[in-house]
Chains A and B, each alone.
Chain A
Amino acid sequence: MTELYKRAAVFQFEYRRSPDQDAAAPVRRPIVVVGAGPIGLATAIDLAERGNAVVLLDDADRIGEGSRGLCYSKRALEILDRLGAGEQVVEKGVSWKLGKVFFRNDKVYEFDLLPEAGHKMPAFVNLQQFYLEQYLVERALDLDNLEIRWSNRVTGLDNRPDGVGLTIDTPDGPYVLETDWLIAADGARSSLRDMVGAGFIGRTFEDQFLIADINMKADFPPERWFWFEPPFHGGQSALLHRQPDDTWRIDFQIGIEADARKEQEPERVRARLDRMLEGRDYSLVWVSVYKFQCRRMENFRHGRVFFAGDSAHQVSPFGARGANSGLEDAENIAWKLDLVLKGEAPESLLDTYHLERSAAADMNIGHSTRSTDFISPKGPAAIGYRNAVLDLSRRFDFARRMVNSGRLSTPATYETPLSTPDADTFAGAARLGAPLPDAPLRNVDGFDVWLLEALGDDFTLIVFADGAAPAVPDGVTLLDIGAGWSDPKGMLAERLDATPGATYLVRPDQHLAARWRHYDPALVAAALDRAKGIVK
């Protein structure tokens, strides 16, 4: 990334000396999270909300502006909602669900990411990443058992079988901190990754993209517009997104040969924008040039150190899978580590973090690689086929469906030993190993609530009443639909393909762990053990 524009601080925080820096011997903490980006913040908040004491270290003392994450997926919003920041993000952000793809002067394809009602969260929200970070920091500051230490840079890591030693640099000089468990969410250029001696394998794309955030009053609808070879940007692609505060994000593909510094000069950027915006008034907010990588660590777990977010995997932004998938990492590690720390699950449960999230990363990398290859094809054959698809897409449905301007982030469905394989057959939108689809419900007091709000922080059992009163294991939340709770629109029953007696076991991260046509306490108990990684 090359920078001509100054990154102003949007929010400034303060370094404070911690008593740990004056301790005679290194203090030992149960959990340390490194990196107060969206993923470190989400992990720390989730663990703290579950009752754990967490220290969060970040080498900066501010949130800077700049063009980074922008589109937050429905699943990411659901996770943020559980952490107490989702409604703020939706309120401030621009909700959208329609994407349009243009080839030269014609619209060739349109997609609707959420064609049905009955979900709390919209398909996507556009919001400048610094706002998301601000809301998460505010949420973190509410939690007494979560301590953020700004201007604390980790410079050394001693990863022992019995704990992790950290050397931390501060404005007052270095100190050493011990921790039982460490989450490394220190971003794509993770130095902790180097400190554990792990590689970061994958592809780098040479194509460059000029990214401009501009201020403009315009009445375009809140949709994602993508152009292949538009008349205003000959031969290459362009992307337009609306953000709050009358800010718009525009991506221009500028090719391999372009001179990144020169392309960022305001006159050149303006010339491109003028051609596109046809005389509309606008001002430049922030301009940068990016190249993209698609890669991941071989193993997300290194002993007592877990990598999450961009430190573990990196994708191209076509599809908005970076922060969105990182938030799924955050919630995956949080409940597992929590159960292990509480002694309710064996330590081996933690290995399923790598298993589930590396498979998700592979899916995300696959999608974002295919999108990037379609947007910037290499070699005459790839270019020829790409253009053939675009040409045919004007006339034929099948080709429209091959046009790949980014397949937008969808949550992972885990094929995992933690799921109990289906013994009965189920149709409907819910899938074993995937997050439950949301639905409107009415609670025991007659209030309307969303399913995903009603799920417990621990495991939840959803039982569609058939007269029998289910005996629920300790610590499991019961939603008895048709007895205390109701499904006024029948949407939950439809989405879960429920019949009377149907029973669903849901993990703390809202993924479906097991389901049966009839409630059987022995089967539920066995599935619960299995979902906690307890092998009997």
Chain B
Amino acid sequence: MSRLLTQSRFANPDEAFVAIVDAHRDLAPEASAALDARLVLLLANHIGDIAVLKEALAAAREGLADSRAG
């Protein structure tokens, strides 16, 4: 049973995407990583549901090479 909503939810998806990318403009890679970390923490808390968070983490990790494997 999936609780993570993966259907499109924004009225204007392009605007949401651009807002995220724009927020990183002019940031050095380290600051950019810091922004992402803060954003993830803020949004995770907003969701406030550990099951949804774990599902999102699993979905985000899928397909990424796992250096620990093998």
Interface residues of A (CB under 8 A from B): 380, 384-385, 387-389, 391-392, 396, 398-399, 402
Chain B residues whose CB sits within 8 angstroms of the CB of A387 once the complex forms: 34, 37
CB contact list, B6-43 vs A, under 8 A: 33-34, 37-38, 40-42
Chain A residues whose CB sits within 8 angstroms of the CB of B37 once the complex forms: 384-385, 387-388
Closest CB of chain A to B31's CB: distance in Å?
A: 11
Closest CB of chain B to A442's CB: distance in Å?
A: 45
Nearest residue (CB) in B for A391 is B38
Given contacts A391-B34, A396-B42, 5 further A-B contacts (CB under 8 A): A384-B37, A385-B41, A388-B41, A396-B45, A398-B41
Q: How many residues on the B side are at the interface (Cβ–Cβ under 8 A)?
A: 8
Closest CB of chain A to B5's CB: distance in Å?
A: 21
Chain A residues whose CB sits within 8 angstroms of the CB of B41 once the complex forms: 385, 388-389, 392, 398-399, 402
A398→B34 contact, CB < 8 A = no
Q: Which of A380, A385, A399 has the most CB of B within 10 A?
A: A385
Chain B residues whose CB sits within 8 angstroms of the CB of A402 once the complex forms: 41
A398→B33 contact, CB < 8 A = no
Closest CB of chain A to B43's CB: distance in Å?
A: 11
Measured between alpha carbons, how far is A402 from B40 in the docked complex, in Å?
Answer: 14
B34→A388 contact, CB < 8 A = yes
Chain B window 44-55, contacts with chain A (Cβ cutoff 8 Å), 1 for yes, 0 for no: 010000000000
Closest CB of chain B to A449's CB: distance in Å?
A: 43
Chain A residues whose CB sits within 8 angstroms of the CB of B40 once the complex forms: 385
A384→B42 contact, CB < 8 A = no
Nearest residue (CB) in A for B38 is A388
B33→A384 contact, CB < 8 A = yes
Measured between alpha carbons, how far is A523 from B9 in the docked complex, in Å?
Answer: 55
Closest CB of chain B to A370's CB: distance in Å?
A: 15
Measured between alpha carbons, how far is A391 from B35 in the docked complex, in Å?
Answer: 11
Measured between alpha carbons, how far is A433 from B7 in the docked complex, in Å?
Answer: 44
Closest CB of chain B to A402's CB: distance in Å?
A: 8
Please name 17 pairs of A and B residues whose Cβ atoms are closer than 8 Å in the assembled complex, sorted by A: A380-B33, A384-B33, A384-B37, A385-B40, A387-B34, A387-B37, A388-B34, A388-B37, A388-B38, A388-B41, A391-B34, A392-B38, A392-B41, A396-B42, A398-B41, A398-B45, A399-B45
